[in-house]
Amino acid sequence: DAGITQSPRHKVTETGTPVTLRCHQTENHRYMYWYRQDPGHGLRLIHYSYGVKDTDKGEVSDGYSVSRSKTEDFLLTLESATSSQTSVYFCAISAGDRYNEQFFGPGTRLTVL
Amino acid sequence: GQNIDQPTEMTATEGAIVQINCTYQTSGFNGLFWYQQHAGEAPTFLSYNVLDGLEEKGRFSSFLSRSKGYSYLLLKELQMKDSASYLCAVRDPNDYKLSFGAGTTVTVRA
């Protein structure tokens, strides 16, 4: 399972509240990604990281920030949650031995009321 | 920009064959991936194509034509457990990011 965990797995919060989601990996991989998945849109990249303190924006980065102070942890923060950020959030790493394919964490279901 | 299209839904009978098409128009290309995602679970890697042709892996095969911007995933001898969403994704050659299609939900009926 590539040693990826996400926390929390479920969260309900209110509009305007800050929220931080954590992705943790145990195998020292360099690349980490945050996606959101919504019906009809598939997986969309929010932010990604190519090393400690090295991050860049994806296609839907507005309203989100990230931090990576250690190789194993990649944090996604919603500074002031909105109802449009209700979604399932997946973390991923590039880890495949042959194709460098991405492996996904179990996901976090976030509901913003 | 990235434009990746797949059918939204497909239905097939147990034991049959289903072909899921994916067409793409992207600013760059460094391989095409297929992922399987069961309801409520994370996507899992199925196959990878970077050169034209067919890659076979058990009951699943994936085909790529780079000149046509086209791929398909072929599922043979369908089983009930194959009911899932199938995601097509193209990798960017500059930064290795993946762009995903919206996914195709396959329902296998007895």
Question: pLDDT tens digits, residue range A3-51?
Answer: 899 999 999 999 999 999 999 999 889 999 999 999 888 899 999 999 9
In this prediction, residue A93 carries a pLDDT of: 95
For residue A64, pLDDT over 90 is answered with yes
For residue A69, pLDDT over 60 is answered with yes
Contact A56 B95 (CB under 8 A): yes
Could you tell me if A31 lies within 8 Å of chain B, comparing CB atoms?
yes
What is the arrangement of strands in the sheet containing A19-25, beginning at the earlier edge strand? A4-7, A19-25, A73-78, A64-70
- Torsion over CA: A13, A15, A19, A23 (sign): positive
Calpha distance B12→A45 (Å, rounded): 31
The neighbouring-strand residues paired with B57 are B60
Contact B42 A105 (CB under 8 A): yes
Could you tell me if A88 lies within 8 Å of chain B, comparing CB atoms?
no
For residue A67, pLDDT over 80 is answered with yes
Contact criterion met (CB below 8 Å) for B8 and B107: no
Task: Supply φ then ψ for residue B80, to 5 degrees.
Answer: -55, -35
Burial class of residue A65 (count of CB atoms within 10 Å of its CB; 0-12, 13-18, 19+): middle
More confident residue, A109 or A27: A109
In this prediction, residue B28 carries a pLDDT of: 87
In this prediction, residue A2 carries a pLDDT of: 67
The residue ranges of chain B whose pLDDT is under 50 are: none
Q: pLDDT-based confidence at A1, cuts 50/70/90? A: low
In this prediction, residue A15 carries a pLDDT of: 98
Which of B5, B87, B99 to mutate: most A Cβ within 10 Å?
B99
In this prediction, residue B27 carries a pLDDT of: 85
Contact B48 A107 (CB under 8 A): no
Q: Please enumerate in sequence order all residues whose Cβ is within 8 A of that of B27, keeping only pairs 6 or more positions apart, or say none.
A: B1, B2, B92
- CB neighbour burial string for A92-106, b if at least 16 within 10 angstroms, e if fewer: bbbbeeeeebbbbbe
Residue appearing with tokens 């179990």: A106
Q: pLDDT-based confidence at A100, cuts 50/70/90? A: confident
Percent residues over pLDDT 70 in chain A: 98
In this prediction, residue B93 carries a pLDDT of: 86
Question: pLDDT tens digits, residue range B48-61?
Answer: 999 999 999 999 99
**Nearest chain A CA: its distance from B83 CA (Å):** 17
- CB contacts of B55 in chain A (<8 Å) are none
Which of B92, B97, B99 to mutate: most A Cβ within 10 Å?
B97
For residue A82, pLDDT over 90 is answered with yes
